[in-house]
Amino acid sequence: AQKITQTQPGMFVQEKEAVTLDCTYDTSDPSYGLFWYKQPSSGEMIFLIYQGSYDQQNATEGRYSLNFQKARKSANLVISASQLGDSAMYFCAMREGRGAGGFKTIFGAGTRLFVKA
């Protein structure tokens, strides 16, 4: 069954340091996509980065990179050079392909990141 697990309810990081937010997933569909979203205290959902199951390279978007380890079924988000504005809730999400899941997109419980000055 499709499942996303984020085991870190809260994380602290010093400004300008890098931080890794963990995400593991489970699916029987060979075709799937992994996403990370940010939710600031204002409540909107902001897309950060995408990784496809067949992508050979780890995805990167500015200060965000996705450490994709397919055999371990993990898709950790790495934020480099943390900024105070990175303090937010972060969600990992997965969408299955054309299999039984049929484009269903589910989310993990989230990790709240606190950036310290």
Partner 1 sequence: NAGVTQTPKFRVLKTGQSMTLLCAQDMNHEYMYWYRQDPGMGLRLIHYSVGEGTTAKGEVPDGYNVSRLKKQNFLLGLESAAPSQTSVYFCASTWKNTGELFFGEGSRLTVL
List of residues contacting partner 1 (CB under 8 A): 6, 9, 33, 35, 37, 43-45, 47, 50, 52, 91, 93, 95, 97-98, 102-110
The least CB distance from residue 9 to partner 1, in Å, is 8
What token pair was written down for 43? Answer: 């409540």
Beta carbon of residue 102, minimum distance to partner 1 (angstroms, whole number): 6
The full DSSP string for 39-94 is E-TT---EEEEEEETT-SSPPEETTEEEEEETTTTEEEEEE-S--GGG-EEEEEEE
Residue among 13 and 92 whose Cβ is closer to partner 1: 92
